[in-house]
Amino acid sequence: MTLDDLYTPCLIVDKKKLTNNIAKMRAQASKLGVTLRPHVKTAKSVPVALMCAGGAVGPITVSTLREAEYFADAGFKDIIYAVSMVPAKLDRAKDIIDRGVDLKMIVDSAEIAKQISDAGAKYHRVYKIMVEIDVDMHRAGLSPDAPELIDVARALHDGAGTELAGVLTHAGESYHCKTKKEMIAAAEAERTSITRAADNIRAAGLPCEIVSCGSTPTATFAKDLTGVTELRAGVFVFNDLFQAGLGVCDKDDIALSVLTTVISHKKNQNRIITDAGGMALSKDHSTRGTDFDCGYGLIADMSGHIIGNLYVLGANQEHGLITSQDGSKIDFHRFPIGSKLRILPNHACMTAAAFDQYNIIDGTDEITETWQRCNGW
């Protein structure tokens, strides 16, 4: 089977690029002396997660309990669920733990920590919980120096149904950096903040074994991770246009694309219409407002070579609207109705979420494998 035989829209993964992307991050973690704990929310696929550990089952990060269950089915045992835990989800987490999984969860509230501890005691078990740290005012978590940090840590350590497993953060503001110098500074700020949180916990006489940090930009540009035990990143496996715009990768490193079919010509509006709209590409317009604005995706030919000056201007539910970036006239004869194109995504995680499998190519247009992925929560 070749790309021409596929029903569109569908996902294409270039295995050579995927392999190279993973090798670079594995080398970076090794150089920095930390464990690589990939965030599997990007690919949500067992074969990709196995590649991240050199073909073996290794430590992973998940963003949903569905992911934890899916990867547990494949034999993954060391999992961090990196979204704030609430007591209502503990029964499901308990079922995962009962399968022999070392599932660690995160909180940023002393009250919730106590509730989870009470539930653990009720179930005659001890939940491993990490404290989420906010290193850049991005999202959830506690400041490294907040008095509440010690309150949460102590509640977890002293509680009958919980164990204080460590601290975790995500440097989300790194996505706003504009230069390599800023990225390096963001990585160092992440390191110093998360290690300060760990030191504050230890100074209070409490243990803090795991010190976990990472985003793909900071993981890529970090120069020193002294005091950190593990590196988490996710989108590096595929990369995308936003990462390329940040300088994390080149556009040629992007391993994921959406195969689409030209379904109409709108010559009076200088537009090519395809069957990959918002439901296939996502409506993540993360490059908007930057000097690398790519609309809803850049256009490549069937071989994966980017076609200059074309981009997805708009994305209706099932229609993708392609036009020229500089307003010049499109040569519609190059893109006849029924022909296929590949679209490189702004945000690989969001784009991949629309599909249930990957079609794997490896240097040719032949489909060598089909990899399943999990969806849902």
pLDDT band at 172; cut points 50, 70, 90: confident
* pLDDT surpassing 90 at residue 363: no
pLDDT for 85 equals: 98
Q: What is the mean pLDDT of residues 145-170?
A: 97
Tokens of 163: 């164990």
pLDDT for 171 equals: 82
Q: How far apart are CA 255 and CA 356, in angstroms?
A: 17
pLDDT band at 7; cut points 50, 70, 90: very high
Q: How far apart are CA 261 and CA 296, in angstroms?
A: 16
Q: What is the mean pLDDT of residues 318-323?
A: 98
Positive or negative torsion for Cα 108, 35, 19, 77: negative
Fold of 33-238: TIM Barrel (3.20.20)
Domain ranges of the chain: 3-9+255-372, 33-238
Per residue in 233-276, pLDDT tens?
Answer: 999 999 999 999 999 999 999 999 999 999 999 999 999 999 99
pLDDT band at 309; cut points 50, 70, 90: very high
Q: What is the mean pLDDT of residues 314-341?
A: 97
Q: What is the mean pLDDT of residues 131-138?
A: 88
Tokens of 233: 């990143």
DSSP 137-197: SSSSSB-TT-HHHHHHHHHHHH-TTEEEEEEEE--GGGGG--SHHHHHHHHHHHHHHHHHH
Fold of 3-9+255-372: Lyase, Ornithine Decarboxylase; Chain A, domain 1 (2.40.37)
pLDDT for 213 equals: 96
Angle at CA of residue 158, ends 168 and 162, nearest 5°: 55
User: In whole numbers, what is the pLDDT of the chain averaged over residues?
Assistant: 96
- Of 320, 331, 330, 314, the closest CA to residue 270 belongs to 330
What share of the chain in percent tops pLDDT 70? 100
pLDDT for 29 equals: 98
Where helices occur in 33-89 by DSSP H, the ranges are: 46-52, 65-73
Per residue in 73-119, pLDDT tens?
Answer: 999 999 999 999 999 999 999 999 999 999 999 999 999 999 999 99
Residue appearing with tokens 């539910």: 317
Q: How far apart are CA 205 and CA 200, in angstroms?
A: 9
Tokens of 364: 């040719």
* pLDDT surpassing 90 at residue 174: no
Q: What is the mean pLDDT of residues 338-345?
A: 98
* pLDDT surpassing 80 at residue 137: no
CA atoms in the 13 A half-sphere facing the CB of 175? 19
* pLDDT surpassing 90 at residue 286: no
Q: What is the mean pLDDT of residues 2-8?
A: 97
* pLDDT surpassing 90 at residue 192: yes
Q: What is the mean pLDDT of residues 312-328?
A: 97
pLDDT for 361 equals: 98
pLDDT band at 22; cut points 50, 70, 90: very high
User: How many CB atoms within 10 Å of residue 122?
Assistant: 11
User: In the chain, at which residue ranges do the beta strands (DSSP E only) sit?
Assistant: 10-14, 35-36, 60-62, 78-84, 102-107, 127-133, 162-169, 210-213, 230-231, 256-266, 271-274, 298-300, 306-315, 320-324, 340-344, 357-361, 369-372
Q: Which residue has the higher pLDDT, 212 or 175?
A: 212
State residue 229 phi and psi, 5-degree precision. Answer: -105, -25
